[in-house]
Amino acid sequence: MIRILLFILALSLPADAAQQRIAALSPNLVELLYKLGVGEQIVATVEHADYPQAATAIPRIGNHNGIAIEQLLALEPDLVLLWRGGNKSKDIDQIKKLGFNVYLTESQQLTDIATELNHIGRLVNRTAQAKQLARQYLLQLNQIKNAYSKKPKVTFFYQLWGNPLMTATNNSWINQIFKVCGGENIFEHSHTDYPLVSLEKIIELQPQVIIQSDEPANLSSMDWNRWPIIKAVATNKIIEVDTDLIQRATTRTIDGINSVCQALDKIRILQGSSNNKINERIIISL
């Protein structure tokens, strides 16, 4: 009787951490799993899952166009982790219908990273590690918020894309990061989180700094040097930021926030000096 009860109990528990096969179908989920110490159990991921370095060896079964469902079936994962912000709805629905053990993430606020760590930690039998990482992440986030809550605001324009000109504002993940650092988005009151904007409006609003994602195609799509009428351009106050640090919902978000805050601090110092031109652009990368 005892043996039967133990057998039933074993069936009700998650697969053993050393045996669990995991499909992590977004780059941020891969990072979180490695942080929890179970990266070697990932049997499938998608393109651009490149951190840490060991993640580059994981088989790819999808990209921004979708997931190769046949390849996922062949791999027979015990757990499939999906990201609502990156995976297509039709893929999510199909994977669920096929009966996979699915966990769907949706980090919308900076504090959600801690929540996701705890949820995933339970799924992969790393509860203690997850709790410690989550506490550390929230502590660091609150320390940064407290340090920058009373600093002078720095108005900025964020170039999400250059042609057509697109930005990120309101409740977007990127805008939340800049807000923590005392950044004030010149398109703060836009009707959408990712609006198309006009160059004329940027000239009218005159941001103190222009921030660009560092994707080569984005950088080449807009030559700001053609518009010295914008003071931020004339004084070379243009920041290039590592996209992964500010767009992926991982513990490295703290690194991204710290780097952005330090860059905005430099802008604050220069605003108060007689010669406030920067000799070269600020490039944030790790």
3-state SS of the chain is: CHHHHHHHHHHHCCCCCCCCCEEECCHHHHHHHHHCCCHHHEEEECCCCCCCHHHHHCCECEECCEECHHHHHHHCCCEEEEECCCCCHHHHHHHHHCCCCEEEECCCCCCHHHHHHHHHHHHCCCHHHHHHHHHHHHHHHHHHHHHHCCCCCEEEEEECEECCEECCCCCCHHHHHHHHCCEEECCCCCCCCCCECCHHHHHHHCCCEEEEECCHHHHHCCCHHHCCCCHHHHCCCEEEECHHHHHCCCCCHHHHHHHHHHHHHHHHHHHCCCCCCCCCCEEECC
pLDDT tens per residue across span 71-129? 999 999 999 999 998 899 999 999 999 999 999 998 999 999 999 999 999 999 999 99
The region of weakest confidence among 3-7, 83-87, 156-160, 213-217 is 3-7
**Fold agreement (19-141, 151-284):** yes
Q: Is the pTM of this model over 0.95?
A: no
The residues spanned by each domain of the chain are 19-141, 151-284
User: How many angstroms separate the CA atoms of 94 and 96, rounded?
Assistant: 5
25 contact partners, CB below 8 Å, separation of at least 6 = 44, 45, 46, 61, 62, 67, 80, 81, 82, 83, 87
Q: What class is the 151-284 domain? A: alpha beta
> What does CATH list as the number for 19-141?
3.40.50.1980
The mean pLDDT value for 146-167 works out to: 95
% of the chain surpassing 70 pLDDT: 88
Give helix 127-148 / helix 253-271 axis angle, nearest 10°. Answer: 10
Q: Are 78 and 20 in contact (CB under 8 A)?
A: yes
Tokens 């490295």 belong to residue: 252
- pLDDT at position 32 is 97
The mean pLDDT value for 209-233 works out to: 93
Q: Phi and psi at residue 164, in whole multiples of 5°? A: -75, 160
The mean pLDDT value for 45-64 works out to: 95
- Tell me how crowded residue 69 is: count the other CB atoms within 10 A of its CB: 14
206 φ/ψ sector (left φ>0, alpha ψ -120 to 50, else beta): left
Q: Are 209 and 239 in contact (CB under 8 A)?
A: yes
Where residue 43 falls among pLDDT bands split at 50, 70, 90?
Answer: very high
